[in-house]
Amino acid sequence: MPGANDLMMRIYPAMAQKERELISERTRAALAAAKARGKALGSERGYRPAASPDAAAAAAAQARREAAERAAHRLALAAERLRCEGVASHAALAGALAERGVPAPRGGAGGTHTTVARVLWRAGGSPGQKSATAA
């Protein structure tokens, strides 16, 4: 503020302080009115409901989990067949799945080596571990 003089520079902070006090008074009055209406004030720290309050969101999440399980099972079966044929690495499995047109969990053909590793992990093994049928 290039045109501000010493008096103005003292008045502005005093006005800001008064506005803070007015805001505080209004907030206290609003909280007192809410409390008088029976509204619970404050947060419930540490409280987490067992289920989502939105039943539709919970149902959609469950449907996505089930679809992921089905896709993982389908791809794991195809990968196990390929392992029995001698295809060992995740990259080779991804390539063979793509050649055979096996769809990836999110569409497309085959997926990547990471997709294969995650699918095999979801199906019951760790990402770097060979299954019992291929050993």
Same domain, yes or no: 67 and 112: yes
Same domain, yes or no: 22 and 65: no
User: Is the residue at 51 inside a domain?
Assistant: no
User: Is the residue at 88 inside a domain?
Assistant: yes
User: Is the residue at 56 inside a domain?
Assistant: no
User: Is the residue at 46 inside a domain?
Assistant: no
- For the chain, what is the domain count? 2
Range of the domain at 77: 61-122
Inform me whether the pLDDT recorded for 131 exceeds 50: no
The least confident of 20-29, 60-69, 110-119 is 110-119
Q: CA 41 to CA 91: how far, in whole Å?
A: 56
User: Is the residue at 133 inside a domain?
Assistant: no
Inform me whether the pLDDT recorded for 127 exceeds 60: no
pLDDT in tens, 51-92: 666 778 888 888 888 888 888 888 888 888 888 989 888 888
